[in-house]
Amino acid sequence: MEYRELAVPGAFEITPKQFGDPRGVFLEAFKAGPFADAVGHAFDLQQANCSVSAAGVLRGIHFADVPPSQAKYVMAVQGAVLDVVVDIRVGSPTFGTWDAVLLDDVDRRAIYLSEGLGHAFMSLEDGSTVMYLCSSGYAPGREHGIHPLDPEVGIDWPTTARDGSPLAPLLSEKDEAAPTLAEAKEQGLLPTQDAVRDYVGTLV
């Protein structure tokens, strides 16, 4: 596995080595040792989620209160999505910065987002199936969102599907009603850089 830290500190692109033969393909989707070496602590798996999305479905930008927030190790087991991480940590030198990784069933990359970061993705074809390994369970009262089309964040979402057809974003009612990054900051919803650093520092 190869780990590459993204433009948002605390987020990594993970590229596995694939072993193919006439029967198909085998790969290691997650490995605890290399993960801890790259990130600096172990991954405490508490919940695994799966979503299936039509082309154009846009999920996010989602995040959770710190502590404990919710770190995510995300991969597409079928189809393709553009997966995006956003730095929403108030006081971070890269606050508002985003970076993206193409997750698909060809290169089979994964993305890791540490606690205190925002996460979103857009499906690039029908039936795109995404698996999330999460460091904490879903807690409705601690979950929040930022509008994924917020011009201040300025994510460059795809306009063309994997098959070349036009792509239009399709949001849930909840994501459509989410505040902008500035509004979320004003409402005190965003984690601070110090709070995230202090919490992550307790992980082993």
- Please identify every residue annotated as catalytic: 62, 132
Residue whose pair of structure tokens reads 């930008």 in the numeric block:
61
Q: Residue 203's closest CA among 44, 11, 85?
A: 44
Cβ(99)–Cβ(118) below 8 Å: no
Tokens 């695994």 found at:
48
Residue 87 near residue 98, CB atoms below 8 Å: yes
